[in-house]
């Protein structure tokens, strides 16, 4: 019971951050991510896709709260650099997560080319449904055709649902 008491007492020692402190921290993180964004991996790689999705959410906030378009401008330049493509493995969930960022930009700017490659990929996957088992087997790349690992459920389904809702 002493342990439980100590855990319940600890939060009262911490000050609740203010809305402005949280906002400033979010901006600091977004700025750090952008200034330290280097091409160690493809811009379209899943790690960058997840990061860019977060920055796209911040871009919407920065525009709404501060009329700051700089985050959108950075993302637009990156999307245009890659012609709004997703990565190349047709079935692999990791390779379409970048499409979630492009979808956020499409929602803001309503440019069809932003989602056309992701839609083309989704249409292809639907027309060529994988016939592999739902088992992830190390060393067998075809076992990744079906989304049998937990983070795959973040990577692709959200994009496909959003494409369905908009097209």
Task: For 120-139, write each residue's pLDDT tens digit.
Answer: 999 999 999 888 888 888 88
Q: Is 92 helix (H, G, I), strand (E, B) or coil?
A: coil
Residue 115 CB-density burial (10 A; 0-12 exposed, 13-18 middle, 19+ buried): buried
Task: Give the CA distances from residue 110 to residues 70, 103, 119, 121, in Å, rounded to whole numbers and listed in that order.
Answer: 18, 9, 14, 19
**Residue spans of alpha helices (H) in 37-97:** 46-66, 70-81
pLDDT, average across residues 136-151: 84
Higher pLDDT, 145 or 124: 124
Q: What is the mean pLDDT of the chain?
A: 89
Task: For 23-67, write each residue's pLDDT tens digit.
Answer: 999 999 999 999 998 766 788 989 999 999 999 999 999 999 999
Residue 12 has pLDDT above 50, yes or no: yes
Predicted TM-score (pTM) of this structure: 0.84
């Amino acid at each position: 019971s002493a342990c439980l008491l100590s855990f319940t007492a600890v939060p009262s020692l911490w000050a609740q951050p203010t809305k402005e402190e949280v906002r400033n921290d979010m901006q600091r993180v977004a700025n750090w991510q952008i200034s330290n964004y280097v091409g160690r991996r493809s811009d379209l790689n899943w790690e960058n896709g997840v990061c860019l999705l977060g920055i796209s959410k911040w871009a919407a906030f920065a525009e709404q709260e501060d009329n700051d378009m700089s985050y959108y401008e950075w993302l637009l330049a990156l999307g245009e650099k890659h012609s709004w493509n997703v990565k190349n493995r047709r079935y692999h969930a990791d390779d379409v997560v970048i499409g979630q960022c492009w979808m956020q930009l499409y929602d803001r700017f309503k440019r069809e080319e932003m989602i056309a490659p992701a839609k083309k990929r989704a249409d292809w996957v639907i027309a060529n449904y994988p016939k592999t088992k739902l088992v992830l087997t190390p060393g067998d790349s075809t076992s990744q055709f079906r989304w049998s690992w937990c983070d795959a459920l973040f990577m692709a389904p959200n994009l496909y649902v959003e494409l369905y809702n908009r097209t």
